[in-house]
Amino acid sequence: LNNHDDFVGAFKKLPNNLQLMTIHAAQSIIFNQSLNRRLASGLPISIPIEGDLVGRIDEKGQLNASSCVIAESRNLPRITRNCQLGRLVTTGPLPGSEIYVAGGKSRDIELSAINDSGLAEIDWRVEEIPRLSSKGTRRALVSNFTDLYIDTVPIAMAESLGERWNMGPSENSRWHPEGACLRFRFSLSSGSYATTLLREFMQCPLNQL
């Protein structure tokens, strides 16, 4: 409060994990915009096209970002087959100081997402807080799940549920009280979100997850 212009000092008052989260959030905006534009353009996300950067999936189901190679006409059939077998995966950008984007149509999409976000001119080096600097990396466009089980469970007692549940579905809501009788169990690789998979079953708006 004594130094209104000390923005860096104010930012440092945040916990370290929240400081880092702001960098990750900016990178995620680029990734999400790239993925959204790819889908809107009608391009596949699980099958590579020429110019895509494709990475290897290790034994733990994690992307080895350092192994990424560009899909070219000469190797596209082999890379496509390995993507279908779950050995390789198409990737999108998490930008940084050493960012590398895909080629071909994917490159145009990724660069447009970076430019339109207003982040094209930054170099991702934070001189005032060096530990927040990022070299950038790649993230898988798709994720696999295993060990999926869906079973029924006893109806929960009303007093054990939250107020929103007890009020019942509101207008334009897409959920049903009987959903409380289902239990999903599955395994995801690190970095994947359970809500993303569940939405494929629920087909509900994001604000209802």
pLDDT, one tens digit per residue, over 25-76 is 999 999 999 999 999 999 999 999 999 999 999 888 889 988 899 999 999 9
Specify the residue for token string 């049903």: 176
Confidence grade of residue 183 (pLDDT, cut at 50, 70, 90): confident
Q: What is the mean pLDDT of residues 158-175?
A: 74
Q: Are 93 and 31 in contact (CB under 8 A)?
A: yes
Query: What pTM did the predictor assign?
Result: 0.81
Strand 53-57 vs strand 145-152: parallel, antiparallel, or unpaired?
A: unpaired
- CATH tag for 7-140 (out of 3.40.50.150, 3.40.50.300, 3.30.2350.20, 3.40.1410.10): 3.30.2350.20
User: Which of 35-39, 48-52, 87-91, 172-176 has the lowest average pLDDT?
Assistant: 172-176
pLDDT, one tens digit per residue, over 117-144 is 998 888 899 999 999 999 999 999 998 8
> Alpha helices of 117-193 — where are they, by DSSP H?
163-167
The structural domains of the chain, with segments of one domain joined by +, span 7-140, 145-208
